[in-house]
Amino acid sequence: MNSTPFFRRLDIALQRAIESLDRRIVVHRLHLGEQGDEDYTRAILAPPYPRAGLIIATPVWPFTIDALRSVAEKGKQVVTMVSDVPEVASCFYVGIDNYLAGRTAAHAVARRIGGKGNVFVLQALRGYPAHTERMQGCCDELAEFFPDCHVIVPDADTLDDPSACYRLVRRALRKERVAAIYNTTTRATAR
């Protein structure tokens, strides 16, 4: 399992939801953590138990899309959490609109800093569309409504690691004057 605070909270919420189900419904949970392509594909396509459906929070990579499509084509219901997978037509997404979440965060940040200054945007993992969509929403909101805000996006993912976030922010502060930081994983903050 991804060990970030978000995924720990998601796991606890899922456990609580499972406890409220009728006892005739069996839910198997599998945590993959930071596994490779083959492990993800095997878990999606060949579970060690029979299943009627699949609820999954996974990076959206070509091999996961193909595997999810294969499960859906076999008539199994596929529900994705965290990231939508529109490439799988019959897949059902449960989650927020990440693009609008990014726009909302950008709006709050820009108002907090008076509508001008550098906004440093940290992205946890580009393999998760949720983060890319939040980053894009943030950039679009600032460009459209706050032209005096300049977005700075580092070329590195933070992987939701506080030390990586610290290093990237510290490096940015040495080069630029930063008025606000938006982390696609947690919340927007202003200095």
**35 pLDDT exceeds 80?**
no
Say yes or no: 58 and 35 in one domain: yes
| Contact in structure between 109 and 145 (CB atoms under 8 Å) | no
* Number of domains the chain contains: 2
pLDDT tier at 22 (50, 70, 90 boundaries)? very high
For residues 79 and 148, state if they share a domain.
no
Indicate if 79 and 136 belong to the same structural domain.
no
Question: Is 87 found in the same domain as 13?
Answer: yes
pLDDT digits (tens, 9 = 90+) for 44-103: 999 988 999 999 987 788 888 999 999 999 999 999 988 888 889 888 999 899 999 999
Distance CA 5, CA 32 (A): 16
Residue range of the domain that includes 156:
98-190
Last residue of a domain, one of 59, 94, 129: 94
158 or 111, which is more confident: 111
Indicate whether 162 pLDDT > 80.
Answer: yes
* Distance between CA atoms of residues 13 and 175, nearest Å: 41
Same domain? 77 vs 14: yes
Per-residue confidence (pLDDT) for residue 3, from 0 to 100: 66
The answer to whether residue 130 scores a pLDDT higher than 90 is no
**Last residue of a domain, which of 51, 76, 94?**
94
pLDDT in tens, 9-18: 888 988 999 9
pLDDT of 176 reads 92
Burial 48-57 (b: 16+ CB within 10 A, else e): eeeeeebbbb
| Token code pair at residue 128 | 């998760």
Same domain flag for 85 and 133: no
pLDDT of res. 113: 97
C-beta separation of 180 from 113 below 8 A: yes
Specify the pLDDT at position 30: 85
pTM here is 0.79
Residue 190: pLDDT band (50, 70, 90) is: very low
Q: Which CATH number do you get for residue 170?
A: 3.40.50.2300
Average pLDDT value for the chain: 88
Element (H, E) at 182: strand 178-183
Mean pLDDT, rounded, for 1-25: 84
Work out the pLDDT band at 181, boundaries 50, 70, 90.
Answer: very high
Does 47 share its domain with 120?
A: no
Where is the domain boundary, 94, 117, 142?
A: 94
Query: What is residue 45's predicted lDDT score, i.e. its pLDDT?
Result: 94
> Is the model's pLDDT at 137 over the cut of 80?
yes
180 and 104: one domain?
yes
